[in-house]
Amino acid sequence: PVVLAMPTNAAANDTTDIISWTAVTGADSYNIYKAGTVVASTTNASINVASYGTSNAYKVEAVGDGIWYSNSPLTAALSVTV
């Protein structure tokens, strides 16, 4: 399978507790990691992380279908102070 591109333009907003990124062509969904563990999955190119704790660094991974596309590398850490 083709490795998906890493999500780009990833950003965190402390005011809204939202992390966002540019959608990746071929991605079925996105995994959100905190401390090396998947804490959420979404099909959108943003997510509110307020319910996952305070002062955390999150990383995003584009998820492929496993047949044609495999998962992307993780983004750099996105710090959110909830």
What would the pLDDT profile of 49-71 be if each residue is shown by its tens digit?
989 876 789 999 999 999 999 99
Confidence of residue 82 (pLDDT cuts 50, 70, 90): low
Cα 57-3-23 angle, rounded to 5 deg: 55
pLDDT of residue 53: 75
DSSP-assigned letters across all residues of 18-81: EEEEE--TT-SEEEEEETTEEEEEESSSEEE-GGG-SSEEEEEEEE--SSSEEPPPPPPPEEE-
CA pair distance 37, 3, nearest whole angstrom: 21
pLDDT tens for residues 10-57? 999 988 999 999 999 999 999 999 999 999 999 999 999 989 876 789
- Higher-pLDDT residue of 80 and 22 is 22
Looking at residue 41, its pLDDT comes to 97
pLDDT surpasses 90 at 77: yes
Q: What is the pLDDT of residue 9?
A: 97
